[in-house]
């Protein structure tokens, strides 16, 4: 199916006569990203191949590290040196932060966005993440929407132990205790700061609810950050820490996914890029593995993978930016790319009939959550907060998870750290 889709994609791009590719055969783009795992690399190859087919010259700049922290450090060094890449993977408020630094305008891709009517193709929530200059001009292009709050589980392991996918945190805790007693690692986890934060925000959404998440994590309300509900969130985090194995510290996320895939561990809490690893291994949902959102009241934590386009000198680089942006927002590209990546398209008009049950469920949940107030930005993946506040929360979360700090002390430190970062 994917090979057929790739052929269709190539034909569609040629027949559409993408002016940005044909106008500049020498269009070039140096692309900084952190997509280095198997599933991520397969997805990115779709974009690389399309760029080449349309006359572009791609210079790859991968920076390993699933959360993108290392890539952001590399990006910052490049910009400080006055040598930004043509495009860089980036998310959320960081897009506007770089615009505030004066390194993004004059917004070369805005003309592409207007010509292709991106405002009609994206939800207003996603579109606003992609805009600079007072949210008036497009400076970044989205390639997908990831859901963060997922349980992934090995079907054979759960079936063999008489377990079903948990629909509450109490159910998960009970299942995990049974698995641990049977000698199976209940929770595959890589205790890197961004992974700890990924688990934390799913727990915060589930234990506290949608309004609590909005107040504490998005609005940074001090009473919510340091209050009794946050203490309960840290209590659950301590329980989860007891379900991980001794090899957890420093483990890469895709290695943890592999533990679920091979049955060494039962569950993983991770965004739906994890599904790209299952797909890359030819495993199928409902047959080889289970997917279900972590328990919450119809909340949905989203992350939009996107690329920002910096101010460039030289016609070839500018034309490369325009071509790349147009390709990223292509209807068929968004379908094929996300079939590989595990996510769902950012474009609203992409049919979901070729997607699997996990993706179809994600799309349906997103629409429902958007209508009921449960669609919320992920802080762990750069959608909710600026870097200083994100870092303040993440530091406390990972310190608590990897120590014997009490839940009360963690909540107290969390509020103080966020206040000090403002």
pLDDT, the chain, mean: 92
Q: How does strand 28-33 pair with strand 87-90?
A: parallel
pLDDT beyond 80 at 6: no
Enter the tokens of residue 241: 């820490």
Round to whole Å and give the CA distance between 266 and 257: 10
User: The domain at 148-302+361-421 falls in which architecture?
Assistant: 3-Layer(aba) Sandwich (3.40)
Q: Is the pLDDT of residue 4 over 60?
A: no
Per the structure block, which two tokens stand in for 23? 């106008």
Q: Using the CB atoms, write b or e for 188-225: b if 16+ within 10 Å.
A: bbbbbbbbbbbbbbbbbbbbbbbebbbbbbeebbeebb
Position 251 pLDDT exceeds 60: yes
Cβ neighbors of 209 (< 8 A, separation 6 or more) are: 296, 297, 299
What count of other Cβ atoms lies within 10 Å of the Cβ of residue 101? 9
The pLDDT value recorded for residue 231 is: 98
Share of the chain above pLDDT 70, in %: 94
pLDDT of residue 83: 95
Q: Give domain 2-146+304-358's CATH number out of 3.30.230.70, 3.30.1330.90, 1.10.10.370, 3.40.190.10.
A: 3.40.190.10
Mean pLDDT of the region 158-175? 98
The arithmetic mean of pLDDT across residues 108-120, rounded, is 97
Are residues 344 and 355 in contact, defined by beta-carbon separation less than 8 angstroms? Answer: yes
Closest to 62 measured CA to CA, from 91, 85, 92, 96: 85
- Using DSSP, state whether 379 is helix, strand or coil: coil
Q: For residues 254 and 82, give the distance between their C-alpha atoms in angstroms, rounded to a whole number.
A: 34
- Residues of each domain in the chain carrying CATH 3.40.190.10: 2-146+304-358, 148-302+361-421
Q: Write the pLDDT tens digit of every residue in 49-88.
A: 999 999 999 999 999 886 788 999 999 999 999 999 999 9
What does the angle CA 339 – CA 343 – CA 346 come to, to the nearest 5 degrees? 100
Whole-prediction pTM value? 0.87
């Amino acid at each position: 199916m994917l090979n057929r889709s790739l052929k269709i994609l190539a034909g569609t791009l040629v027949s559409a006569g993408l002016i940005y590719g044909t106008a500049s055969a020498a269009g070039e783009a140096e692309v900084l990203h952190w997509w280095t795992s198997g599933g991520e690399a397969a997805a990115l190859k779709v974009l690389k191949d399309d760029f080449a087919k349309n006359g572009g010259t791609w210079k790859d700049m991968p920076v390993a590290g699933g959360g993108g922290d290392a890539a952001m450090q590399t990006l910052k060094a490049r910009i400080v040196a006055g040598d930004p890449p043509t495009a860089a993977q980036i998310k959320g408020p960081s897009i506007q932060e770089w615009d505030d630094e004066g390194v993004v305008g004059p917004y070369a891709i805005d003309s592409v966005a207007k010509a292709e009517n991106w405002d009609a193709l994206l939800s207003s929530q996603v579109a606003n993440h992609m805009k600079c200059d007072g949210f008036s001009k497009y400076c970044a292009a989205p390639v997908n929407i990831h859901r963060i709050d997922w349980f992934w589980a090995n079907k054979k392991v759960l079936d063999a132990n008489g377990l079903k996918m948990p629909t509450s945190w109490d159910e998960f805790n009970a299942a995990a205790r049974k698995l641990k007693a049977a000698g199976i690692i209940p929770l595959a986890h890589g205790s890197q700061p961004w992974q700890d934060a990924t688990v934390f925000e799913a727990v915060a959404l589930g234990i506290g609810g949608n309004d609590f998440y909005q107040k504490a994590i998005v609005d940074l309300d001090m009473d919510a950050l340091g209050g009794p509900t946050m203490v309960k969130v840290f209590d659950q985090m301590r329980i989860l820490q007891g379900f991980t194995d001794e090899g957890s510290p420093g483990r890469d996320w895709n290695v943890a996914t592999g533990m679920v895939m091979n049955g060494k561990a039962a569950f993983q809490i991770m965004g739906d890029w994890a599904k790209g690893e299952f797909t890359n291994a030819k495993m199928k949902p409902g047959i080889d593995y289970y997917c279900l959102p972590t328990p919450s009241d119809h909340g949905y934590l989203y992350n939009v993978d996107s690329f920002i386009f910096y101010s460039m000198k030289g016609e070839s680089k500018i034309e490369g930016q325009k071509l790349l942006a147009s390709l990223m927002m292509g209807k068929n590209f968004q379908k094929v790319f996300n079939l590989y990546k595990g996510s769902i398209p950012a474009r609203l008009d992409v049919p979901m009939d070729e997607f699997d049950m996990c993706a179809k469920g994600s799309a349906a949940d997103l629409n429902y959550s958007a209508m009921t107030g449960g669609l919320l930005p992920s802080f762990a993946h750069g959608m909710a907060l600026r870097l200083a506040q994100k870092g303040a929360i993440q530091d406390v979360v990972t310190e608590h998870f990897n120590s014997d700090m009490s839940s009360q002390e963690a909540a107290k430190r969390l509020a103080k750290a966020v206040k000090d970062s403002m």
